């Protein structure tokens, strides 16, 4: 009997009954169905307000529909967000990160260098192998969230129009305008579903990209150890890591606000080829970062910006290439401060 229900029991230690991806997808599908049920119920509720016998239960039905929409939307969002957070990061958060007290010795760089971006996001993130985990410059979650909201919104419109058309046919009052709008809505819904499916594939199959560094702050002429962690479910034709320094200028041209960016330094640190990623096989690679001695430090002004970042560029076999950047802070040379 224990073996029969063993899959429902909590495993000891760090073992689990299934993969993190399957659990996240199952949770997202469940809450997605709850959200879809709420949208369908909202459509039926809107077109049942004309019935006098239904008006007495309108507020109760509206409360149920709102509960379904909030439960499905918030649950699916949290399921997707938690999939992008590693097990070590969740463990550090739940344990209030007791080891971070040692990381606060360099946490006041904004006071010492007012024109340099703050390094609070770097020193606040513990790594798995090295000391600091770099913050990602952009997030792939928000494009997927926008695509999902657009897709579900048009699905809700299509369902409402379908209910209206079916109701008109049932009562022998065909509204051709609703039929034309339904056909157009089906076309848009089909395209939005395909686009959302593509974004979901990119978000789930490529997996998590993490970069870590051994120490901070970085200075011109210094070097440090780096560590790459890449998960996913695909075959990578190539994966490159580059150290990039960009200069950005913001100015007005007439009434237009223009932003121009120029790459002033680029160094290809590592190039990895033909790597197969699966749930039990992730890509781990150690590398070394060297900041040129004559390079400009990080700078942020009112109209100018100099930023350093590590850029990971991958070419999957069956998906579009992806680029993920991670910001780093380079301080000016200061003989009075140690960099270790």
Q: Which residue has the higher pLDDT, 60 or 181?
A: 181
Band of the pLDDT at 10, cuts 50, 70, 90? very low
Cβ(245)–Cβ(308) below 8 Å: yes
% of the chain residues with pLDDT over 70: 73
SS3 assignment for 76-110? HHHHHHHHCCCHHHHHHHHCCCHHHHHHHHHCCHH
Whole-angstrom Cα distance, residue 121 to residue 301? Answer: 19
Q: Using alpha carbons, list the distances in angstroms from residue 139 to 74, 89, 135, 204, 284.
A: 19, 17, 10, 13, 21
The predicted-structure confidence for 14-60, as pLDDT tens digits, reads as follows 444 455 556 667 777 777 777 777 777 776 666 665 555 555 456 65
| Whole-number pLDDT of residue 288 | 94
Q: What is the CA radius of gyration of the chain?
A: 26
Q: Using alpha carbons, list the distances in angstroms from residue 20 to 79, 86, 140, 179.
A: 11, 10, 18, 43
User: Mean of the pLDDT values across residues 52-74?
Assistant: 65
| Whole-number pLDDT of residue 140 | 67
Band of the pLDDT at 225, cuts 50, 70, 90? very high
- The answer for 74, left when phi > 0, alpha when psi is -120 to 50, beta otherwise, is alpha
For the entire predicted model, the pTM comes to 0.60
| Whole-number pLDDT of residue 93 | 44
Greatest extent of the chain over all pairs of C-alpha atoms, in Å: 86
User: Half-sphere exposure of residue 65, counting CA atoms within 13 Å on the CB side?
Assistant: 14
State the sign of the Cα–Cα–Cα–Cα dihedral 117, 210, 20, 90: negative
Cβ(284)–Cβ(217) below 8 Å: no
Q: Which residue has the higher pLDDT, 231 or 333?
A: 231
Buried b (16+ CB within 10 A) or exposed e, 309-332: bbbbbbebeebeebebbbbbbbbe
User: Mean of the pLDDT values across residues 166-178?
Assistant: 77
pLDDT of 132 above 70: yes
Burial class (CB in 10 A: 0-12, 13-18, 19+), 49: exposed
User: Mean of the pLDDT values across residues 202-217?
Assistant: 84
Q: Which residue has the higher pLDDT, 293 or 33?
A: 293
Q: Which residue has the higher pLDDT, 48 or 188?
A: 188
Distance of alpha carbon 237 from the chain centroid: 23
Range with the largest mean pLDDT of 20-24, 33-37, 150-154, 328-332: 328-332
Q: Which of 333, 285, 337, 338 is nearest to 312 (CA)?
A: 285
* Matching residue, tokens 């409402």: 160
């Amino acid at each position: 009997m224990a073996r029969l229900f063993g899959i429902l029991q909590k495993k000891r230690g760090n073992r689990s009954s299934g993969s993190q991806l399957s659990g996240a997808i199952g949770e997202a599908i469940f809450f997605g169905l709850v959200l879809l049920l709420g949208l369908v119920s909202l459509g039926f509720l809107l077109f049942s307000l004309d019935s006098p016998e239904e008006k007495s239960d309108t507020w109760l039905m509206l409360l149920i529909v709102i509960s379904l929409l909030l439960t499905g939307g918030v649950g699916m969002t949290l399921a997707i967000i938690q999939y992008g957070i590693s097990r070590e990061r969740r463990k550090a958060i739940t344990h209030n990160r007791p080891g971070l007290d040692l990381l606060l010795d360099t946490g006041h760089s904004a006071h010492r260098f007012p024109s340099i971006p703050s390094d609070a996001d770097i020193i606040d993130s513990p790594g798995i192998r090295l000391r600091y985990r770099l913050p990602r410059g952009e997030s792939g979650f928000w494009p997927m969230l926008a695509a999902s909201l657009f897709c579900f919104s048009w699905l809700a419109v299509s369902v409402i129009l379908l209910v209206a058309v079916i109701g008109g046919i049932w009562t022998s009052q065909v509204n051709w305008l609703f039929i034309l709008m339904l056909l157009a809505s089906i076309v848009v819904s089909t395209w939005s579903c395909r686009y959302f499916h593509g974004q979901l594939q990119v978000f789930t199959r490529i997996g998590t990209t993490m970069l870590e560094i051994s120490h901070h702050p970085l200075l011109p002429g210094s070097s440090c150890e780096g560590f790459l962690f890449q998960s996913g479910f695909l075959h990578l034709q190539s994966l490159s890591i580059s150290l990039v320094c960009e200069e950005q200028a913001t100015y007005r041209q007439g009434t237009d606000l223009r932003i121009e960016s120029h790459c002033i330094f680029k160094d290809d640190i590592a190039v990895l080829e033909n790597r197969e990623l699966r749930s039990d096989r992730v890509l781990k690679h150690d590398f070394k970062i060297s900041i040129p001695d004559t390079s400009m430090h990080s700078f942020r002004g009112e109209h100018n910006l100099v930023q350093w970042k590590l850029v990971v560029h991958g070419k999957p076999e069956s998906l579009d290439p992806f680029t993920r950047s991670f910001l780093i802070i380079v301080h000016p040379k200061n003989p009075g401060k140690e960099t270790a």
